[in-house]
Structure 1
Amino acid sequence: MEISVSESTARHLCLLPTELLLQVLGELDYRSLVRCKQVCRLFLETINNAVALQYKIELGVARMEDGPPSLLGAADRLALLKRHQQAWNTLKYSSIEWMPMLRGEVWELYGDVLAQARGSKVLCFWQLPSAIRGIEHKEWTLENFEFVIRDFGMDPAQDLLVLIQSPRADSDDPYRIHLRHLSSGDRHTRAPNPAIFTHSPHGSEDYSFTIQVAGDLLGVLFINHGDEDAELLVWNWKTGVRICRVIGEGVRSFAFLTPRHVLLAETEYGTEEGDTLGPTLFVIDVFKHADTNTDILVQSDDLCRFRLPELSDLATDYSVLIRSDPAPGWTPHPDSKVPFYTGRHDRLFVLTLDVVETTMHLHALLMFVPSSTFTSRMDALAPGEEHRAFDWEDWGPTGTRLIRAPPRQTHVWVCYVFGMKFAFKRMINNNMAICVLDFNLLPVKRRQAEGRDGMEPGLEERSYERTPTTLPGGTVFKNPVTTSLPFRSHTLMFEVPSQGGPIPLAAVMLSEDSLIMVADLPNVRQFGIITY
């Protein structure tokens, strides 16, 4: 819990025996502990000399949470956590391992597990290791599937594998969604029996899918490339109950914002009170019509909406891709025994905004938004209030960072965000570089609050970006757009070795413990796993 300590309360606490004072301080959250260090010398020395309290502070500042009980005590966990933060601050990795890129059509990366299809009925899995958090490298293959795998998703924390089976050609069969154990491929024992959901979307047969699991909820977005309509289906995968069907025009991606809310964007120009409705993010409560089984319509059933900057008159088309990992409430599998893991209180959303102008030139932009930017506005809604529209000026300039996307930013290898970090590749002086943007500024704020100069160990002052970014008006946006959300940047200069010289990277992806280099060329198809 977070408290404020008055001067009189502090005087009384100072009279307690050390053992009782430690018990009282142990009930505080990390923010209150940091404040208590500024109250008096006794509090400062007591907290600094208590390993368990230091560990709690370091967890909070790193936006981490304590892992399940194990043989590791607070002192060991504190040492590992500091080592973990130092490694990511400097991008000094533990090892690099190369693995082949298989010839299957689908792949997935989630929760430190990389999966690829081999052919149409076989899936191969790699648990990515971590020297610091004690995660072992594992490989396994599932090849007993009796149907062609159209797409799949997974949640290693719940040992869940979600498989989509396409209907037979020229048939009226529905799509079948199978719930299996990730470790064995057998029917998931926590799912209904049979562990199969079905859905028959309207429209053409040219569908692609986005699959996300958030605790008990399974969301599957059916994207119809022959039509602008899209359908988002959400089930409770443990009970088999369908929670909702969300219908929207031009929806191409979604992400769970909270355990009951999804964030999505429509890419069709709509109208609102006679005005053109430009790029807008919608927040949908998936339980809104759960009792009546009524479809949810994006523009009429939203809880609230966040308007993006107004587009220029030269803009003729746009699209929005939304990415965020992990899902809200995500925790690692309890058997993993990791000492700590990424916290659940704030996550980074990465929006890719592609705008086409009249000359058919494509402008690609990246917008970084912490989930707290959205949820803090949602918390301000009055009870029962719906359809609240937050203008860009009310949330964007200080709550986001909008930049031009790096050249050839990937639209395929999109697992580039985890927690509060985003990874991408760029060229610096004709050399390949891997860059990580970290939007967790608590280490900087702590040092400022404690009156200490300089950065955290391993950080340089130039890595802290506070200068606002301004994109000019006239081409993409009608007016200049300035955003100022601070971040830290870390760069790894890297020459990828091979017998024929450096391997050109198509993309860089990110998991909780690894940077994944993607070499996707006809003659070079590999993943390079940089492990921390």
Structure 2
Amino acid sequence: MSYNFQSSSISVYEALSRAGPELASIINDNIRTLYQLQLGLAGMMNGPEGDDSKGLLYERLEALCAFTTAWESGEHPVHEITLASSQQSGHSMWHYIPPRIALDVSCIDKQAGSLIIHRPPGVLSGISGNEYTYEGLAARINLRSITGFHVDLAQDLFIWCDGITNTPRPSLHFCSLSNHFGPHHDAARPTISSCFPTYMEWFPFLEIQVFGDIVAWSMYGGDTGDQATDLLIINWKTGVVIMHMHFPNDRIYVMLISRTQLCALHCDTMSIYLYTLNPCASADSKVTTFEDSFAVLRLPACHDRVVRKVVYGDIGFPPAYPDGTSYHFRHDPTHSLLVVTINLDYALDDAESDPEHRPTGTERFLLFIPVGTLLREYHFADPHDQYATAFPPGVIQGSGSEPHRTIPWERWGPSGTRMISLQSARSDLESDINAPPSILGAHVALIAYRPSDEQYVATIYEVHPLADATAPLPMAKAESTVVELGKEAHRQRSEGDYIRGSKTWKDDIHTTFPYKTTTRILPHCDVDGRPRYMDQRNILLTHDGLVHIKNDE
């Protein structure tokens, strides 16, 4: 079924509703139904209820239609935030891996000693742009000791990490924004230190994820910069470490998928480990291992010619807005995605080359895994499941009673994910391989540069159950048939939902989860007509479009 509801139709419905109370009731019910339908098609959820429900409904439906039209025509709003030379955002901190979204851009003003939060406007979703300044940061904290921070306005929370390369035990501190960065009144332990001091000199990167009262604090690194993971899961209100992991020889990306569930992406084995959490634990947890996982999801098997895997994952949950924030609609967090970026190096068939120095090629893929696909596996707790494997005697299971389950790719991947091959991307576009995708709910943006006309091009994927409802065509890997960039929503049209002929996968890849893609040509010049230089890593998804974060230099 296809739906094409135009914003111009709203005025007709509004005029008809004045004909009489009975017709008005029918029209209003119809508008409400259409609005809910459009929300589902766009992967959005309704904003807070207002006093004038009728007028508000018309306004929101009109705004939602404008939003859908802009995204499908490649006219996403593009905003720009300029940071003063004295301001340092989390995106410019060497040690900190910030969220790859920009609903609020937080930065530390070293000259003023304050925290400044820039909120780009959501012109279509009804969010006002703003700037918030919190004084007194330097009076409480030595700014040089901050190697990473996270701001949660909805919880009045400022989390910061002290030096991770010059202290025996790095610590996480929980502060209140409204209390001038003093200890947060809800935090039972305002400061929590890492449990593993031996390897701290190896951890050059850190990441902080907040899910209500649960905080995931990850540190990555190693003597070669690509190994070792140290993780603490903390209930910051009770002060209890409900889980901690330490893997000195493995690169693991750990992400909260709910308040009680967690996934860990093991890069070398191409596996996703699922764990359960107890937010109400009263004592610090023992060290958690792979054997404590609830289930293991295997990714597709690689071909024998693969010589190196570079894999990383991230989730972009839309953060909650503070109470009292007015908006029409927002990204639905239930459609959030785990996005796995996969770079596979393979040996070229060159018989004359030294086997140890054989030339290699590279294939790159994006794997979109809806959080709902991961959560679904928690419902399969049948001990007689054919994929269940009993733990060895004496092994303590993280979930308490269910057996360990190893689930092959064929069991969960084809129907529950979508893989995109980036090998067939347009040859006229140059991508920064070090620029990870920006993720916001069900949307994922990749930024590339087109040298021929010095334009930046954003390819935006939308992945949720109704993403292709307006045009249910077969979809597969991104093809070079995309024309007239930025003019229309493009559904991938090919033989089906397959990636065939890959040199790195053992078998053809088949995925069927709905998605669509649009492209946005970013403005070549700024408002004053000057040529614009953009760092691809600082172009991020925001409320209803994109934002470029730049420095005033």
TM-score for the superposition, normalised by structure 2: 0.72
The residue number in structure 1 matching 2:547 is 516
Query: Retained in 1: the 8 A contact 2:77–2:544?
Result: no
**Which of the numbers 300, 311, 324 marks the counterpart of 1:335?**
324
Q: Is residue 2:411 matched to residue 1:394? A: yes
**Which of the numbers 443, 456, 460 marks the counterpart of 1:436?**
460
**Which of the numbers 162, 177, 188 marks the counterpart of 2:172?**
177
Q: How much has 1:461 moved relative to structure 2?
A: 6.8
- Cα RMSD (Å): 3.6
The residue number in structure 2 matching 1:205 is 201
Q: Is residue 2:115 matched to residue 1:129? A: no
Query: Retained in 2: the 8 A contact 1:213–1:219?
Result: yes
Q: How much has 1:94 moved relative to structure 2?
A: 4.8
Going from structure 1 to structure 2, the CA distance change for 1:299 and 1:257 (only over 3 Å counts) comes to same
Q: Deviations over 1:244-287 (max 9, x none)?
A: 1123442342221222111112234xxxxxxxxx3111111133
The residue number in structure 1 matching 2:536 is 506
Q: Is residue 2:302 matched to residue 1:311? A: yes
Q: Secondary structure, in 3 states, of the residue corresponding to 1:336? A: coil
CA distance in 1, matches of 2:435, 2:106: 13
Q: Deviations over 1:446-476 (max 9, x none)?
A: 787xxxxxxxxx9957446674241434x32
Structure 1 portions without partners, runs of 5+? 1-21, 23-41, 269-277, 449-457, 520-524, 528-532
Structure 2 portions without partners, runs of 5+? 1-20, 348-358, 384-400, 473-485
Structure 1: which amino acid aligns with 2:255?
A: A
Alignment of 1:352-391 (within 5 A): 352-358=341-347, 359=359, 361-382=361-382, 384-391=401-408
CA distance in 1, matches of 2:161, 2:441: 27
Q: Is residue 2:49 matched to residue 1:69? A: yes
Q: How much has 1:300 moved relative to structure 2?
A: 0.4
Alignment of 1:229-268 (within 5 A): 229-248=228-247, 249-268=249-268
CA distance in 2, matches of 1:239, 1:90: 48
Instruction: Provide the aligned length of Structure 1 versus Structure 2.
Output: 458
Alignment of 1:6-405 (within 5 A): 46=26, 49-71=29-51, 73-94=56-77, 96-100=79-83, 104=88, 105-106=92-93, 108-109=98-99, 112-118=103-109, 123-132=115-124, 133-140=126-133, 143-144=137-138, 145-147=140-142, 148-166=145-163, 169=166, 172=168, 174-182=169-177, 185-187=180-182, 189-192=184-187, 195-201=190-196, 202-207=198-203, 208-226=205-223, 228-248=227-247, 249-268=249-268, 278-287=269-278, 290=281, 293-326=284-317, 330-358=319-347, 359=359, 361-382=361-382, 384-405=401-422
Moved more, 45-54 or 300-309: 45-54
Going from structure 1 to structure 2, the CA distance change for 1:52 and 1:187 (only over 3 Å counts) comes to farther
Going from structure 1 to structure 2, the CA distance change for 1:430 and 1:211 (only over 3 Å counts) comes to same
Q: Deviations over 1:272-331 (max 9, x none)?
A: xxxxxx31111111339946744354420111111111122222332321111116xx53
Q: How much has 1:152 moved relative to structure 2?
A: 1.4
Q: Is residue 2:442 matched to residue 1:420? A: yes
CA distance in 2, matches of 1:85, 1:439: 15
Per chain length, whose mean CA-contact separation is higher, i.e. which structure has more relative contact order (CA < 8 Å, sep 6+)?
2
Q: How much has 1:141 moved relative to structure 2?
A: 5.6
Q: How much has 1:123 moved relative to structure 2?
A: 4.4
The residue number in structure 2 matching 1:478 is 506
Q: How much has 1:51 moved relative to structure 2?
A: 3.4
TM-score for the superposition, normalised by structure 1: 0.75
Query: Retained in 2: the 8 A contact 1:47–1:53?
Result: no
Identity of aligned residues (%): 18
CA distance in 2, matches of 1:411, 1:125: 29
Q: How much has 1:240 moved relative to structure 2?
A: 1.3
CA distance in 2, matches of 1:94, 1:310: 40
Q: Secondary structure, in 3 states, of the residue corresponding to 1:395? A: helix
CA distance in 1, matches of 2:77, 2:202: 43
Q: How much has 1:423 moved relative to structure 2?
A: 0.8
CA distance in 1, matches of 2:345, 2:280: 36
CA distance in 2, matches of 1:463, 1:403: 13
